Amino acid sequence: MSMEFTGLKEKTLVLLKPDAIQRGLIGEVIGRFEKKGLKLVGMKMMQLEEAVLREHYAHIADKPFFPGVSQFMQSSPVIAMCWEGLEVVQAVRILCGITKARSAEAGSIRGDLAMSVACNVVHASDSVETASKEVPRFFKVDELYTYNKSEFEHVYTEDERV
């Protein structure tokens, strides 16, 4: 079984960061994705290790602030989720808001629930290409579920479900 990243099978990674866990925002954040009509296909709580963080944040691993990011991301468990849906990467990015939370639009997760760049509640894949690398970094194929989500007929038109 392979992971598909097109159409209704497009997948994205969302991590609930330590600040979300510590502040009791798990249900609030998950509820926003559910209310949008997205399909949760994988979820687990995990303690991140340095090696995973170095790979995940390879684009900043050589920056002087990386040790602080790594320490923060290891300060408590995170919740890794894989969401599925039509153009789900873009939809999740809009729901999350921009990285600098204090400047994020009101109504977005970060705009409503955070003030920081690092302590901004969630990480979300920034492109389909990135998602295709991040999802397998956090989930094995057998940890993702395929099932019919009956509400999809009320979330997408028939042509979008094809």
Percentage of residues of the chain with pLDDT beyond 70: 99
Residue 162 has pLDDT above 80, yes or no: no
Specify the DSSP class assigned to residue 96. Answer: H
Q: Which pLDDT score, from 0 to 100, does residue 112 have?
A: 98
* Contact (Cβ atoms closer than 8 angstroms) between residue 13 and residue 123: yes
Who wins on pLDDT, 92 or 6? 92
Interval 14-69: pLDDT, tens: 999 999 999 999 999 999 999 999 999 999 999 999 999 999 999 999 999 999 99
pLDDT band at 161 (very low <50, low <70, confident <90, very high): confident
How many other CB atoms sit within 10 Å of the CB of residue 31? Answer: 11
Write down the catalytic residue from 56, 59, 123, 154: 123
Average pLDDT, the chain: 96
How many other CB atoms sit within 10 Å of the CB of residue 125? Answer: 24
Q: Which pLDDT score, from 0 to 100, does residue 2 have?
A: 66
What architecture is domain 7-141? Answer: 2-Layer Sandwich (3.30)
59 catalytic residue (yes or no): no
pTM of the shown model: 0.94
